[in-house]
Structure 1
Amino acid sequence: MLRPSLRLLWAAGLLLAALGAPMASAEEYDPWPGLVQDIFNNRPMIDGSDVIGIEMPYRAEDAAIVPVSLRSKLAPTDTRRIVTITLVIDQNPSPMAARFALGADAGVSEISTRVRVNNYTNVHAVAELSDGQLYVIKTYVKASGGCSAPAAKNPEEAKARIGQMRYRQFTRASEGPTSGVREAQVMIGHPNNSGLQMDQLTQLYVPAFFIDELKLSQDDNPVLTVEGGISISEDPNIRLTYVSNGAKHFRAEARDTQGHVFQHEWDVDQSGM
C-alpha cells in the first residue's frame, strides 16, 4: 500500500488537476529531489547505467498506455542481485508508478508493462541491490493527459472483465523443456481508474479504483511482486523474463483497492514450446 506521505502527494496532484491548475514542465521544475526524500527517505543513490536499463518511447503515441521495459544489466559474474525496482514518473499526480520486488531465486532479468503519463516528464528507475545500495537511471518522455484520459472500455464492459486473468508463456529455442530462461505475460481485466477521469454522462470524477498488489509465482516460489498505483494503465499487463525452476504451475494473485482478491493458476507447458 502507498505510504501516508505518498497519499498526500497523490491527493495534492488530484486537487491541482481537478482545479485545472497548470502543471509545470520538467524543464521549469524538477520534483526529483523532493521525491527522493519522500519515496526513498533521502538515501544516497549511485549512477545505475551499468546496473539497470529503462526503455520508453521519447514521444508516446498514447499517453494512457505508454510501454516501459526495465532490464537488468548486471554481468553473469556479478554476485549481487536486484532486490527491488521502483518506477517513478516524476510529473504524475502519484509519482511512484510501481515497485517491483524480484523473487530471490527467480532470476528475473526483464519486466515490461504499460503506464499512464500525465505530463512531459523525467522517468526514474531505482534499483536496490543485495549490497544495500540504490542505483538510479532516468529517461525523458513527451506525453500528456494520460491519467485523465477516458477509459478505453465502457463501464459495463469494464465491470464484466474485472478479475479476469490471461496468461501467455514464451520459451527460447535454445533452452531446455523444464528449465532455463522463460518469458511469461499476465494480463488482468481491471479499469484501474486513476481518480482523474470524468464520467462523460454525469460530469463527475470516477473514484480511484485500481490493482495495488500482484504476486506471481512458479508453484510456491515467488517470482515477482508488484505494488501498483494509478499510473498503471487500464487492464494491467506484466511481461517478464525469469529462470524456470521446473515448476508445473504458474500462479497469480491480485488485490485491488476495494479489497477484491483475484487468483488463478495455469499449467506450465513443459514441452519447451
Structure 2
Amino acid sequence: MSGFNPLNAKITRRRVASLALGAGALLAARPVFAAEDTWPDLKEEVFGDQPILDGTDWVQLEAPYRAHDAAVVPIDISALRPQEKDRFIKTITLVIDENPAPVAAVFHLGKSIGLASLSTRVRVNAYSHVRAIAEANDGQLYMVSRFVKASGGCSAPATKDPDEALASMGKMKLRQFSAPASATAAKPAISELREAQIMIRHPNHSGLQMDQLTRYFVPAHYVSDIEVRQGDEVILAVEGAISLSEDPSIRFHYLPNGSSQINVVIEDTEDQIFTKSWDIESAQSES
C-alpha cells in the first residue's frame, strides 16, 4: 500500500520493543515495591528528563478499578479538546507500570484524526497504575493515570485453539459508528467527525504464556505495527508490544478527506504483513 515502509516499521518496532523490554528489565532487576514507587525509574527509562505535566485539561483516561479479565482490560482515552492547527496531540504513549513490558503501545496521530480519543484492550499483569502520556505539538508531555486491580494478564492462556488462531491470523474487520448527537466533556462536537474501530485476528502471544499440553512457554509473536490510512493520508499509526490483548482492537476518530477507502496494514514480529481495504460508505455502521 502506498506510503508503507517495512524497513521503517522494523525500526519503530525495535524502538518500542527496546523501551518496553528495557523498562521491564529495569523493573525485574529491582526489589518489589509498591506500585507508586515504580514510576520514577520507569519514567526516566522511557522519557528521560523530559518534564511531564498534569494532563487532566487535555485527556481523560477510563479503566476499570477492578478488572473482570486481566487479559482483556478495556482502556478509553478521551481527548477534552479537538485537534486544532496550532494546538494538537501528536502521540499518546500507553504505559502499564507493573507489566513485564510496561510500554503497551505508542499511538501516532495523523492530521485527519480530528479528535485524539482512542480505545483499546490490554493485559495487566499485576496491580498497577495505567498511564496515558500525551505529547503536544510543542513537545510538552501531559499525563493522566488510573489504578487497576488485575493480575496474571500477560501469562493468561490464549482463548482460541492454536490451529484456529493460525487459520484466522491477520483477518480484519472495520466497524463505523454514528457521530454523537451532542457534545460531552469527553467528546467535543466536531462537524463531520466519524468514529471507527479496527478489529484484528492475531494471538498476540506475550512469550509468558504456557502451552497447556507441552508445558513449554509459547514464543512471543505479536502485532508490532498498525497503520490506518484514509486513501493515502495516515489517520493513525500504532507501535504495539506484548501488553496489547489477544485479537487487538483500536477504536478511533477521523475527519473525511474525500477519499473513498480506509486502508490498513499490520505487521507482526515474525515479519508477516497483512493488508485490508474497505469502502468507507459501505463498511458496517452501528449506532
Q: TM-score, normalised by structure 1?
A: 0.89
Which residue in 1 is equivalent to 2:232? 220
2:95 matched to 1:88? yes
Q: Give the conservation status (yes or no) of the 8 Å contact 2:174–2:284.
A: no
Aligned equivalent of 2:176: 169
Deviations 1:52-91 (A, max 9, x none): 1110011000000000011111267784100000000000
Which of 207, 214, 217 matches 1:202? 214
For 1:7-156, list aligned pairs within 5 A. Answer: 7-10=21-24, 24-26=33-35, 30-74=37-81, 79-156=86-163
Out of 230, 233, 236, the position equivalent to 2:242 is 230
Q: Specify the alignment match of 1:253 in structure 2.
A: 265
CA distance 1:210–1:23, change in 2 (3 Å): farther
Is the alpha carbon distance of 1:23 and 1:164 closer, same or farther for their aligned partners in structure 2, counting shifts above 3 Å?
A: farther
How well do the aligned residues superpose, as a CA RMSD in angstroms? Answer: 2.5
Q: 1:170, CA displacement in angstroms?
A: 1.7
Q: Which amino acid aligns with 2:213?
A: L
Q: Normalising to structure 2: TM-score of the pair?
A: 0.85
Q: What's the secondary structure of 2:113's corresponding residue? A: coil
Q: Measure how far apart 1:107 and its partner are.
A: 1.2
- The DSSP-based 3-state class of the residue aligned with 1:70 is strand
Flag structure 1 segments of 5+ consecutive residues without an equivalent. none
CA offsets, 1:8-56, max 9 Å, x none? 334577x78xxxx9954415xx211111111112211111110111100
Q: What is the distance in 2 between the residues matched to 1:243 and 1:205?
A: 43
Tell me if the contact between 1:109 and 1:242 (Cα under 8 Å) persists in the aligned partners.
Answer: no
Are the structure 2 counterparts of residues 181 and 11 from structure 1 closer, same or farther at C-alpha, using a change threshold of 3 Å? same
Q: Mean alpha-carbon deviation: is it higher for 241-250 or for 119-128?
A: 241-250
**Aligned residue identity for 2:263:** R
1:178-229 deviation digits (Å, cap 9, x = unpaired): x811111111110000011000111111111000100001111110000000
* Structure 2 SS opposite 1:54: strand
- Cα–Cα, structure 1 residues 11 and 144, in superposed 2: closer, same or farther, change >3 Å? same
Partner Cα distance (1:113, 1:181) in 2:
19
Partner of 2:209, secondary structure, is: coil
Separation in 1, partners of 2:125, 2:283: 43
Q: Is the 8 A contact 1:6 1:38 kept in 2?
A: no
Identity %: 47
Shift of the 272–87 alpha-carbon distance from structure 1 to 2, 3 Å rule, reads closer
- Distance change (3 Å), C-alpha of 1:191 and 1:23: farther
Contact 2:112 2:256 in 1 (8 A): no
Greater fraction of residues in helix: 2
Structure 2: gaps (5+ residues): 1-12, 183-190
How far off its partner does 1:108 sit? 3.2
Residues 23 and 172 (structure 1), Cα distance of their counterparts in 2 relative to 1, 3 Å cut: same
Q: Deviations over 1:128-158 (max 9, x none)?
A: 0012101111110000000000001111111
SS in 2 for 1:42: coil
Residues in 2 aligned to 1:49 and 1:201: alpha-carbon distance in whole angstroms: 47
